Amino acid sequence: MTYSELIQAYFERSAALQWYWTIYILVIGGVLGFSTFRQHKEIVTTILVTLLYGCFAYKNLGAIESTTEERNAILAALKDYPANDDVTRVRRVLESKLTGPEYTSYPAFHIVCDLMTIAVVWVKEFHRRKPAPGAATA
């Protein structure tokens, strides 16, 4: 791989990482929106939403971890790339700005957000009214 291909791969992994966080926030918004606009208690639906969200959150955190590892590996390859005149000029300007993200803080943040999201879903479930006997639910 050339130095420019490594730089391109680094920024592609950066964009992928940003997309995983964006999707994560959108899903939280969707889950909370769904939970907010439901009018009647439905424990089975709430259990299903909780399980599906938990599965999504687990896989999303795994994707964030993998992408972070890939990004850090590419950054290490950039720093180890043999220097020539062109690489030295670019390296002087660019590499001081490139930092590898620290994955260690991601799981704690992700899990806290996951637990808060699930807690809100269940609090909203318990504060909903029960449908009237014989009433059709929408």
The pLDDT tens digits for 82-138 are: 888 777 878 877 877 777 667 788 999 999 999 999 999 999 998 877 766 766 555
3-127 to CATH, choices 1.10.3470, 1.10.132, 2.60.40, 1.10.10? 1.10.132
Of the candidates 49, 9, 55, 57, the one whose C-alpha atom is nearest the C-alpha of residue 33 is 49
What is the average pLDDT across 59-86?
89
Closest Cα partner for 18 from 94, 106, 95?
106
Over residues 61-77, the mean pLDDT reads: 93
- List residues bridging with 129 in a β-sheet: 40
Q: What average pLDDT does the chain have?
A: 88
